[in-house]
Structure 1
Amino acid sequence: MSTFEAGRALSDEDVAQIQRTAEEQILPAARGMDGFRGILYLMDRGTGKSISVTLWESEAALRASEEAANRLRERSAQEAGEEIRGVDRFEVAYFELDRNVVA
């Protein structure tokens, strides 16, 4: 889990830039990493804080991706005008997603 902070409220243009960066750069690179299973990006537009949660097949896959993930994290933060506030690792204890829900 990566925590980011823009230091300002996020405009519609900021959000669009974050989405473009994810779709054009982050997702293609992440999909190429062994064991990558998904990503969730949460944001508070009012505070400019956001959290990125990536899902991995195993802890070994997570650890093997760290160098490349660090580069992606730095690049995406720079393009979005955000600062990286933290990187943490958690084990998924429970997960459910309604298959009828589309983001």
Structure 2
Amino acid sequence: MFARVSTYRTGPETVVDHTEETVARVLAIPGCRGVYFLTSLEEGKALSITLWETTYALAASREAASAVRADSSAEQAMQIIDVEEFEVANSGLAG
């Protein structure tokens, strides 16, 4: 599995509300296995993490993911700071 991690700068005008529509747009991209959105406990930072089945899916999703990222960050008054890609080395969830 592979991940794309996007870092955002938030501000006082930021309204963090990833709608069901935004999540559905991401999940509709072929090869997407999940999406998480994290907000800092302190104002100023947020992250999105998307999970992808293969490196091909990760690469093929770049353009569509970029469009979703640009739209949602503009709607929520966030600045995109960085976008990085990773291989998921290990994962687990408590039952």
TM over 0.5: yes
Structure 1 residue 45, shift from structure 2 partner: 4.4
Query: What is the identity percentage for the equivalent residue pairs of Structure 1 and Structure 2?
Result: 37
More relative contact order, 1 or 2 (CA 8 Å, 6+ apart): 2
Q: Secondary structure at the match of 1:19?
A: coil
Aligned residues: 91
Structure 2: which 5+ residue stretches go unaligned? Answer: none
Q: How does 1:42-57 map to 2 (within 5 A)?
A: 42-57=38-53
- Backbone CA RMSD of aligned residues: 1.7
Tell me if 1:4 matches 2:8. yes
Q: Is the 8 A contact 1:5 1:50 kept in 2?
A: yes
Structure 1 residue 69, shift from structure 2 partner: 0.5
In structure 2, distance between residues paired with 1:45 and 1:73: 21
> Amino acid of the residue matched to residue 34 of structure 1?
P
What's the TM-score, normalizing by structure 2? 0.86
Query: Highest Rg: 1 or 2?
Result: 1
What's the TM-score, normalizing by structure 1? 0.79
Structure 1 residue 46, shift from structure 2 partner: 2.4
Q: Secondary structure at the match of 1:72?
A: helix
Q: Secondary structure at the match of 2:61?
A: helix
Tell me if 1:88 matches 2:84. yes
Structure that is richer in strand per residue: 2
